[in-house]
Amino acid sequence: QVQLVESGGGLVQAGGSLRLSCAASGRAFSPYTMGWFRQAPGKERESVAGIHWSTGGTSYANSVKGRFTISRDNAKNIVYLQMNSLKPEDTAVYYCGGKSHRVGDWSNANEYAYWGQGTQVTVSS
């Protein structure tokens, strides 16, 4: 059983920064990719960033490229999302997820096997 716990969300003004963390636990934790997704009210869950667990290779949605950075600490089983230059449209519940196989694309939420409970990020204008 794998558990993911996100933290670090909050209220910030436009242009500000936040760092989200996702701590993983459980003997079965051995992901191929870890990803951050977000879901705003009335919208579908969308991909934000993904990281290959062993190589550290990263991918980003166009909407966050140059502003967000995903990273991981393999020893501690933690994934981070550093968010800079935040905009009101970044407001959403942010979720981290784990994908255990290489088939498919990092941005497809349906391919993720486990998820955290989410953390709210609110950016005021």
* pLDDT for the residue 41: 92
As a whole number, the mean pLDDT across the chain is 95
pLDDT in tens, 68-99: 999 999 999 999 999 999 999 999 999 999 99
Token pair recorded at residue 60: 């980003």
What does the pLDDT average to over 36-60?
96
Percent of the chain with pLDDT over 90: 90
Token pair recorded at residue 21: 């963390």
Residue 38 near residue 46 (C-beta atoms within 8 A): yes
Per-residue pLDDT for 103 more than 80? no
Residue 40 near residue 53 (C-beta atoms within 8 A): no
